[in-house]
A and B are shown apart, each in its own frame.
Chain A
Amino acid sequence: MAKTVIEANGKNLQYWRDIWRYRGLAAILARRDITVRYRQTFIGLGWSVISPIINMLLMSFVFGYVADLSTDGQAPYTVMVYAGLIPWTLFSRNLQIASASFLTSAGLMKKIYFPRIIVPLGTSLAIFIDTLISFGVLLIIMLISFFNMGFVPSPRMLLLPLFVIIPSLLGFSTGLFLSPYNIKFRDLNQAIPFLINIGQYVTPVAYSFAVACASVPERFRFIYSLNPAAGAINAFRWCIIPTNEFHMPSFISSLVFTAVFLPLGIRNFRKGERNFVDLV
């Protein structure tokens, strides 16, 4: 029989073992998230398709048609916007759910033990499943573009799985890092959606990275390109759109951010996990 030791301020090496033991719970939580979201809706999972498409059409209209921004190459504006929305959604939703995980599941966490990180992991899994649906939509859009405008995507598309992980992990780690502060200062819970909203316009989601860089004054260009989300998004686009240039500094910035915030985030989350029951 396995022995469990609970000690004041213990290092708790069992934590990682427990995550593995409770992996089934993460899957069930993910399933619950998706099932509950579309319960009693008429088109159900269709909403996962409709909402990004509407978003894409809206942004393409505003930035591509009204503002008449260049697509930076021969890709249709809609494809470019959609290829930006996918990684941005991965980043922002992971950030949001990870940072709020203590608040959304407080009821559960106060009653039953399981490694708390299972909660954001489960939700993150649900987000990933949503993304798979978005990929289906992307394929259809690309097919339409192919027949309409002769757009041929880049063979670099095969690298996409890697570039799905980067924005997810970036958002997830940052969210974990913020999560314990969210317990004490609920302001954060108000501020994060707001900041994400701003971020969506500051970051080249609805327009290309090249266009953004061109309009930023020379001396701020480098600082601008350090936006880690921009790096992740541009890399994602690079996989799909042949003419999209790979931008190394911003990509490295994404990697460095992720590498720094992942351990910091986990550490912070663990710290929050220890005492949040007594604070909430």
Chain B
Amino acid sequence: MDERETVLKIENVGKKYILRQKAPYPVGGTKSERLKYNLSLNKTVSEDFWALKGINLEVKKGERVGIVGRNGAGKSTLLKLISRITEPTEGRIEYEGTVAAMLEIGTGFNPELTGRENVYLNGAILGMSREEIDAKYDEIVDFSEIGRFIDTPVKKYSSGMMVRLAFAVASTLNPDILIIDEVLSVGDMRFRAKCLNRMSDIANDGKTILCVSHMMNVIRDLCDRAIVLEDGRIVHDGDVEEAIRLYNGKSEGFKAGHYEYSIKNRVKGYKCDRLVIKSLDIVGNTDSVYKWNEPISFKFNVDAFTDEENIGMRLRFLRDDGVPVATAFIEPFANFKSGSRGDVFVTVEKHNLAPGNYRCSITLVKGRPYDIYNNIDSINDAFFITVLNVGSDEGGVVSDNAGRLWADSWGRSRITDVRAELKQGD
């Protein structure tokens, strides 16, 4: 058993919200029902909604726990309960020491005040004493890279400057338990990397951390344990990779490996009156997790409403934060007859993607697949895959002792078929 002391204990916690909605007009009702509706002052119906139910969690000192789950799963509610912004409906939460939350940093910034004044205001709001802020002031300004603008009212700052200053203040917090909620989706790439490094430093410092993020690489980098929330319940607690796999499978709420599309999955402007991609199934892989050298196969179902000839396609891979990584082009391969329906089978033999989570988009194109003006149908986030870290014995890259197989600095794609040749002189 883990001998570290427990710093946070959540017992059987539930949070109930009461949803009030406008009652529907009794269309088919009797005259008296309609009259009653019209005369009633309170035209609402309430419904109980448990955002969290039966949550049990124990966190040891120095653990870095990631919390994942799709929108509405209860992640933020859980953090709100722990950071005492709202109270639980039932159950008990107990913790040792102080808790501070880096929730949507910049809260409490006042646009009229200068950077310097806001540092003190924000610090106080986050629970720091004046002396603590005094001691860390130079470090904060230095980290934020605000420089000589520190005495300018914050309303004159660019949004990037504002965020940098806010993060700088928040990251100097020194609580016993630190809560991080999606704060890293800010700033430019370089500053984001700097933030991530700072977070890793804090994490490696032995601090207890609770972290919510939709960016799986953040969870992977920062956390050594992860829980998955679904409909207000914990469905997984433990291994990080396993949690990410579960999250990927569930992120769209469909059964793993099967996706169905509606107008919502398309970018605005697609009329869905020519070729329509209806659904997609992953072939030969139950959890959408691949090794770097494993082929990816899937099939999708297309309804044709017009005659279409010479149809090619594009298959795009995006990082889970939306940055495009790679694209596969498939030259025209099919003709469709109006009124017909067909399955398209696609196999990517060698994807060369680095370990990580990917969102994949498919686009049907008339003619050559490079012509972005001839798209016929396009599905964003058509399916999700995870590419695994594997050791060299499984054909992956050489492992280092830290257990990290793929360094982030190596980018997102593994280039294969490279040759080096030495031509020695005399």
Q: Which residues of A contact B (CB under 8 A)?
A: 1-10, 22, 24-25, 28-29, 32, 35-36, 39-40, 107-114, 274-275, 277-278
Flag whether B25 is at the interface (Cβ < 8 A).
Answer: no
Q: Are B97 and A1 in contact (CB under 8 A)?
A: yes
Complex Cα–Cα for A40 and B156 (A): 13
| Total chain B interface residues with beta-carbon distance under 8 A | 40
Residues of B near A1 (CB, < 8 A) are 96-97, 176
Residues of B near A39 (CB, < 8 A) are 112-113, 153
Q: Are A8 and B90 in contact (CB under 8 A)?
A: yes
Residues of A near B117 (CB, < 8 A) are 32, 35
Q: Nearest residue in B to A28 (C-beta to C-beta)?
A: B124
Complex Cα–Cα for A108 and B81 (A): 16
Q: Which of B81, B97, B104, B121 contacts A28 (CB 8 A)?
A: B121
Shortest CB distance B368–A (Å)? 51
Q: Are A111 and B121 in contact (CB under 8 A)?
A: no
Complex Cα–Cα for A164 and B207 (A): 48
Residues of B near A111 (CB, < 8 A) are 85, 101, 103-104, 107-108
Residues of B near A32 (CB, < 8 A) are 110, 113, 117, 121
Complex Cα–Cα for A107 and B121 (A): 15
Residues of B near A35 (CB, < 8 A) are 112-113, 117
Complex Cα–Cα for A8 and B129 (A): 29
Q: Are A40 and B112 in contact (CB under 8 A)?
A: yes
Q: Are B80 and A277 in contact (CB under 8 A)?
A: yes
Q: Are A110 and B85 in contact (CB under 8 A)?
A: yes
Given contacts A8-B89, A277-B80, could you give 11 more A-B pairs where the C-beta distance is less than 8 Å?
A: A4-B94, A4-B95, A6-B88, A7-B92, A8-B88, A25-B124, A39-B153, A111-B108, A112-B103, A112-B125, A113-B101
Complex Cα–Cα for A106 and B93 (A): 24
Flag whether B375 is at the interface (Cβ < 8 A).
Answer: no
Shortest CB distance A104–B (Å)? 13
Flag whether B391 is at the interface (Cβ < 8 A).
Answer: no
What are 29 of the A-B contact pairs (CB < 8 Å)?
A3-B94, A3-B95, A3-B96, A4-B84, A5-B93, A6-B81, A6-B84, A6-B92, A7-B88, A7-B91, A7-B92, A8-B88, A8-B91, A9-B87, A24-B129, A24-B130, A25-B124, A28-B120, A39-B113, A107-B107, A108-B107, A109-B85, A110-B85, A111-B85, A111-B101, A113-B83, A114-B125, A275-B86, A278-B17
Q: Nearest residue in A to B86 (C-beta to C-beta)?
A: A277
Flag whether B202 is at the interface (Cβ < 8 A).
Answer: no
Residues of A near B130 (CB, < 8 A) are 24
Q: Nearest residue in A to B11 (C-beta to C-beta)?
A: A7
Residues of B near A275 (CB, < 8 A) are 86-87
Shortest CB distance A49–B (Å)? 21
Say whether, besides A1-B96, A3-B94, A8 and B124 are in contact (CB < 8 Å): no
Residues of B near A6 (CB, < 8 A) are 81-82, 84, 87-88, 92-94
Residues of A near B176 (CB, < 8 A) are 1
Q: Which residues of B contact A (CB under 8 A)?
A: 17, 80-99, 101, 103-104, 107-108, 110, 112-113, 117, 120-121, 124-127, 129-130, 153, 176
Shortest CB distance A72–B (Å)? 44
Residues of A near B87 (CB, < 8 A) are 6, 8-10, 274-275
Complex Cα–Cα for A111 and B89 (A): 19
Residues of B near A2 (CB, < 8 A) are 96-98
Q: Are A108 and B113 in contact (CB under 8 A)?
A: no
Shortest CB distance B72–A (Å)? 16
Q: Which of A3, A9, A29, A113 contacts B85 (CB 8 A)?
A: A113
Q: Is the interface of A mostly helix, strand, loop or mixed?
A: mixed
Q: Are A114 and B93 in contact (CB under 8 A)?
A: no
Say whether, besides A22-B127, A112-B107, A277 and B85 are in contact (CB < 8 Å): yes
Closest 6 CB pairs of A and B: A113-B84, A111-B107, A6-B93, A1-B97, A277-B86, A28-B124
Q: Are A112 and B85 in contact (CB under 8 A)?
A: yes
Complex Cα–Cα for A278 and B83 (A): 15
Residues of A near B85 (CB, < 8 A) are 109-113, 277
Residues of B near A9 (CB, < 8 A) are 87
Residues of A near B120 (CB, < 8 A) are 28
Residues of A near B91 (CB, < 8 A) are 7-8
Residues of A near B125 (CB, < 8 A) are 25, 108, 112, 114
Residues of B near A278 (CB, < 8 A) are 17, 86
Candidate in B80, B83, B84, B89 with the most chain A CB atoms within 10 angstroms: B84
Q: Are B92 and A5 in contact (CB under 8 A)?
A: yes
Candidate in A29, A32, A36 with the most chain B CB atoms within 10 angstroms: A32
Shortest CB distance B53–A (Å)? 13
Q: Nearest residue in A to B153 (C-beta to C-beta)?
A: A39
Residues of B near A107 (CB, < 8 A) are 107-108
Shortest CB distance A212–B (Å)? 40
Residues of B near A274 (CB, < 8 A) are 87
Residues of B near A22 (CB, < 8 A) are 127
Complex Cα–Cα for A222 and B81 (A): 51
Q: Which of A8, A29, A112, A113 contacts B92 (CB 8 A)?
A: A8
Complex Cα–Cα for A114 and B129 (A): 13
Q: Are B92 and A36 in contact (CB under 8 A)?
A: no
Complex Cα–Cα for A36 and B113 (A): 7
Complex Cα–Cα for A4 and B17 (A): 24
Residues of A near B101 (CB, < 8 A) are 111-113
Complex Cα–Cα for A10 and B303 (A): 59
Q: Nearest residue in B to A113 (C-beta to C-beta)?
A: B84
Complex Cα–Cα for A212 and B58 (A): 67
Candidate in B81, B127, B129 with the most chain A CB atoms within 10 angstroms: B127
Residues of B near A36 (CB, < 8 A) are 110, 112-113
Complex Cα–Cα for A166 and B127 (A): 31
Residues of A near B83 (CB, < 8 A) are 112-113
Complex Cα–Cα for A2 and B98 (A): 8
Shortest CB distance B178–A (Å)? 14
Complex Cα–Cα for A274 and B81 (A): 12
Candidate in B99, B101, B121 with the most chain A CB atoms within 10 angstroms: B121
Q: Nearest residue in A to B83 (C-beta to C-beta)?
A: A113
Complex Cα–Cα for A40 and B107 (A): 23
Shortest CB distance A37–B (Å)? 9
Shortest CB distance A44–B (Å)? 13
Complex Cα–Cα for A109 and B112 (A): 20
